[in-house]
Amino acid sequence: MKKILITGGAGFIGSHVVRRFVNKYPQYEIFNLDALTYAGNLENIKDIENNSNYTFVKGDIVDETFINDLFRLHKFDGVLHLAAESHVDRSIEDPLAFVKTNVIGTMNLLNAAKNQWKGNFEGKRFYHISTDEVYGSLGSTGLFTEDTPYDPNSPYSASKASSDHFVRAYGETYGLPYVLTNCSNNYGSYHFPEKLIPLFINNIINNKPLPVYGDGNYTRDWLFVEDHAIAIDLVFHEGKNHETYNIGGFNEWKNIDLVKLLCKIMDRKLGRVEGACEELITYVKDRPGHDLRYAIDASKINKELGWKPSVTFEEGLQKTINWYLNNQEWLQSVTSGSYKDYYQKQYS
Ligand code: NAD
C-alpha cells in the first residue's frame, strides 16, 4: 500500500488529479489536503468522496506544526503538491499571501518530507506542480524549454519560481527525490470563473461584458486539464528523479481570437444570433507587468515519456462549455458571496 499526499485537491487541477488517482490506483491510499480557500470546493470531488482509498484532510500548508504532525501520523511515500494561491491579479493585490502559501507552504512540505524520509529515499517521491509563467515573457517567436532561464514578472510567478528553486535545492542539497513540471494555461471543468475561459463562458451565459485586457494580443498556450492530469500521473510514476518537464498543449491563442472563438461556439449553443456575443467584448485597463506571450516546447515529455494531448482544442472547448452549461448551479454557488465583491472591484 502506497500512501500518497495530494495538496490542493479541492481546486481546479488538483480535483482532476485526485479523481484520476483515486479511481485508477485502488491500491494507493490517497490523502487530499486542502485549506478550502475561495478556490477550493468539495463539490469538485463529490463523486469520489466515499471511495475507501480516499481521505480528505482540511488544513493549511502554511501551518508548520500541523504539516509535521500530518507527516508523522501518516508517513507518506509520495507527495503531489498542487496547493497554491494561483491567480495573478490577486497576487498584485496581496503578494504576501502568495509568499506564505506558495513559498512557506512548499518549504513546510519539503521539510516534513525530508525529516520523515531521513535519507532513505527508496520508493519516495516529491512532485512539485508549477507553471510556465516562471520563465517570464516571450517575444513574438520562440518557445520555453526546460533550460530557459527563470525571469518571473508577477508576484504569482515570482512565488512559484521561488518554490521551484527550493524544490531543486532540496534535491541538490539533501538528495530529496523530486520531479518538477512547468505547465501552460489549463482549461476545463471545475475551473474557478475568475480565470479567462470560465469567466467568459459565465459572462456569455449571463449576457455580461467580456473584459479583455489591453489590446487583446496577449498570447497563451492552452491545455485541457484532463490531459494535464494524465501528464502528472505519467511524470509521477515514470519521470526521472531531479528532472523538470515542460507540459503544454501545442496550442497558442491570442486572447482576442480565443474570445471570438468562444463567442462563435456559444452563440450557436445558446441559439443567439451570430455576432451577438462579440458585442459584449469590452477592452479594459491592462494588468501591470503583463507578459506578452507564453509558449511551451513540450518535446522532452513527449520524447521521454510518450505524452501528448489527447484532445484537440475544439474538442476540449466543446466538453468544457457543455460542462458549464450543464452545471450552472455550481457556477452560481462559486460566484456568489465574496467572489461578487472581488469581481466588482476588479472590473468596475
Ligand atoms: P486553484 O486555485 O484552482 O486551486 C488551489 C487549491 O489550493 C485550492 O483548492 C485551495 O483551497 C488550495 N489552497 C490554497 N492555499 C492553500 C493552503 N495554504 N493550504 C492548503 N491548501 C491551499 O489552482 P489550480 O489552477 O488548480 O492550480 C493548481 C497548481 O497548478 C498550482 O500550484 C498552480 O500554480 C499550478 N498551475 C496552474 C495552471 C493553471 O492554468 N491553472 C497552470 C500551470 C500550473
Q: With the CA atoms of 154, 287, 200 and 342 taken in that order, what torsion angle do they form, in degrees rounded to the nearest 10? A: 80
The predicted model gives 268-295 an average pLDDT of: 92
Q: Are strands 185-187 and 243-247 parallel, antiparallel or unpaired?
A: unpaired
pLDDT in tens, 228-257: 999 999 999 999 999 999 999 999 999 999
Confirm or reject: Cβ of 22 under 6 Å from ligand 1: no
Q: How far is the CA of 164 from the centre of ligand 1 (A)?
A: 15
Confidence of residue 128 (pLDDT cuts 50, 70, 90): very high
- Specify whether the CB–CB gap between 246 and 147 falls below 8 A: no
- pTM attached to this predicted model: 0.96
Atom nearest to 195 CA in ligand 1: 41
Shortest CA distance to 81 belongs to which of 176, 164, 195, 194? 164
Best residue among 5, 7, 37, 106 to mutate for probing ligand 1's pocket (most ligand atoms within 8 Å of CB) is 37
Atom nearest to 86 CA in ligand 1: 2
CA angle centred on 250, ends 44 and 41, rounded to 5°: 10
Instruction: Write down the residue that cell numbers 501552460 correspond to.
Output: 184
Q: How many CA atoms lie within 13 A of 1 on its CB side?
A: 10
Instruction: Write down the residue that cell numbers 452549461 correspond to.
Output: 325
What's the Cα-to-Cα distance from 167 to each of 70, 81, 110, 129, 247, rounded to whole Å? 20, 11, 7, 11, 18
pLDDT in tens, 10-40: 999 999 999 999 999 999 999 999 999 999 9
Burial of 332 (0-12, 13-18, 19+ CB in 10 A): exposed
Shortest CA distance to 166 belongs to which of 118, 126, 107? 107
Domain ranges in the chain?
2-187+224-247
Conformation bin of residue 308: beta by default, left when phi > 0, alpha when psi is -120 to 50: beta
pLDDT above 80: residue 1: no
pLDDT at 56: 98
Confirm or reject: Cβ of 5 under 6 Å from ligand 1: no
pLDDT in tens, 92-101: 999 999 999 9
Percent of the chain with pLDDT over 90: 92
Shortest CA distance to 114 belongs to which of 166, 161, 158? 166
pLDDT above 70: residue 139: yes
Confirm or reject: Cβ of 106 under 6 Å from ligand 1: no
Phi and psi, residue 208, nearest 5°:
-105, 160
Would you tell me how many other CB atoms lie within 10 Å of the CB of residue 325?
14
Q: Are strands 210-213 and 2-7 parallel, antiparallel or unpaired?
A: unpaired
Q: In CATH, what number does 2-187+224-247 get?
A: 3.40.50.720
pLDDT in tens, 145-201: 999 999 999 999 999 999 999 999 999 999 999 999 999 999 999 999 989 999 999
Best residue among 5, 6, 7, 12 to mutate for probing ligand 1's pocket (most ligand atoms within 8 Å of CB) is 12
Confirm or reject: Cβ of 62 under 6 Å from ligand 1: yes
Locate 39 and state its grid cell: 478556490
Q: With the CA atoms of 253, 256, 257 and 262 taken in that order, what torsion angle do they form, in degrees rounded to the nearest 10? A: 100
pLDDT in tens, 296-347: 999 999 999 999 999 999 999 999 999 999 999 999 888 887 766 777 777 6
- Specify whether the CB–CB gap between 249 and 313 falls below 8 A: yes
Q: Is ipTM over 0.95?
A: yes
Confidence of residue 348 (pLDDT cuts 50, 70, 90): low
In this structure, the chain runs to a length of 348
What's the Cα-to-Cα distance from 256 to each of 197, 213, 242, 259, 340, rounded to whole Å? 12, 9, 38, 5, 25
Positions marked catalytic: 132-133, 156
Maximum distance among all Cα pairs of the chain, rounded to whole angstroms: 64
Q: How many CA atoms lie within 13 A of 303 on its CB side?
A: 6
Instruction: Write down the residue that cell numbers 532513505 correspond to.
Output: 120
pLDDT at 339: 67
pLDDT in tens, 202-232: 999 999 999 999 999 999 999 999 999 999 9
